Amino acid sequence: MRELEERLARQEQTSEELSVAKEKLEDEVSGLKQDCEGLELHLQKSEQEKQTKDNQIRTLNEEMARQDENISKMQKEKKQLDQTIKQTQESLAAEEDKVNHLNKLKQKLEQNVDEVFIPDFDDLFILHANYIASKFTTSFAS
């Protein structure tokens, strides 16, 4: 009987130890489940953040493509404007040359006009009177 009592005591002790170990394992399993749930939530948040970042990257890439197109268009416009400016400058230079040439001709003509004798009003009056007198005398003489 003693043997049975000792055996029973050992089994109770073993049962007690197993119960304590079971509680520890259950606590550990519960902690691991909480960790898993936390990791799953973190994974979901990370996936959402990744999706958000992917969308931002896609949006930025699209914006960069639009900006590249705008830059290309502006470069073409600048090239056209540069060409137009060059043509305008060339035309302006040609017109300035014409104006300078015409101004020189004008100055020469003004000098020529100054050099030509232009009688004043008194001289014209005397010439006209002489002409009339010569006509008058010619008509009496005939």
pLDDT, one tens digit per residue, over 27-86 is 999 999 999 999 999 999 999 999 999 999 999 999 999 999 999 999 999 999 999 999
- C-alpha–C-alpha distance, residues 1 and 7, integer Å: 9
- pLDDT score at 88: 97
- pLDDT score at 84: 97
Where do the structural domains in the chain lie, given as residue ranges? 2-141
The answer to whether residue 130 scores a pLDDT higher than 90 is no
Per-residue model confidence as pLDDT tens digits over 98-109: 999 999 999 988
- C-alpha–C-alpha distance, residues 92 and 54, integer Å: 55
